[in-house]
Amino acid sequence: MKRSKITLLPNAANFDGLSNTGRQLTRPLYLGLTGLLLSGCGEPDYTAIVANTVEDCVADTSLDFQQCEVAYQEALEEAQRTGPSFFNEQDCEWEFGAENCYQDNDTNYFFPLMAGYLIADALFDSKKRKYRGTYTPVFGYKRKGSKFNNKYMFADGNALGSMNKMAFKVPKNSLKPKPTFARTVSRGGFGQVAAQKVKINQRRSTNRNRSWGG
């Protein structure tokens, strides 16, 4: 069933003491992707920024206001399509923080609010006014004690990096559409998915290094 068309706002600036007003994020702090986002052999990395608002997009990319507004709306649609769903608000907030979840009117499940959306300027064709990627939504993970706390997370459970500066080096495949999150999760379920992603990527990295070493 299609999720309700509701307005999602980026997460608030103070993640530990969230309020109902001024939902704008501080800039994400650059952090290496620590092997979670692995580019293919010979595939170039792109410099991408996390835009927390349309105004951020205008200020920090080559897109104009209209293009940034379209990017924001497309990212919202992706967040609604791909974001993890929870049975109740408490389970969602346990992973994504107080007041960072909303209830879908159609399913009654709870979903995390989009914290921002990723844009790589190099993928934008200014002549054709066309973007050759997806305006990828990211979610702010807030479970204290988790290795992913205060990290931007993709809908598929991969981690982007810390939430305090804007620039990230990412492979092109991280800017492609993510699959729909296929199951409703209970408390800790999204974190478990993320941890499994880490293990899988670590094994891939180990196997690749062995093959390079002969």
Residue 174, pLDDT score: 87
| Dihedral, 104, 105, 109, 113 alpha carbons, nearest 10 | 20
pLDDT tens track, the chain, 214 positions: 334 333 344 433 332 333 333 333 333 322 233 333 333 445 678 999 999 999 999 999 989 999 999 999 999 999 989 988 899 999 999 999 999 999 988 888 899 999 999 999 999 888 878 888 889 999 999 988 888 899 999 988 888 999 987 889 999 888 888 888 666 776 655 766 656 655 545 454 444 333 333 3
CB 140 within 8 A of CB 100: yes
Residue 147, pLDDT score: 87
Please state, in angstroms and rounded to a whole number, the distance separating the CA atoms of residues 165 and 3: 31
Residue 181, pLDDT score: 67
Q: Within 13 A of 172's CA, how many CA atoms are on the CB side?
A: 11
**pTM exceeds cut of 0.95:** no
Cβ-based neighbours of 29, under 8 Å, separated by 6 or more: 161, 162, 163, 164, 165
Residue 197, pLDDT score: 58
Outline where DSSP puts E strands in the chain.
45-51, 85-86, 101-103, 110-112, 116-119, 124-125, 130-131, 136-141, 151-153, 159-162, 167-171, 184-185
Residue 44, pLDDT score: 74
**Domain boundaries defined on the chain:** 45-212
Q: What is the token pair recorded at 40?
A: 């293919």
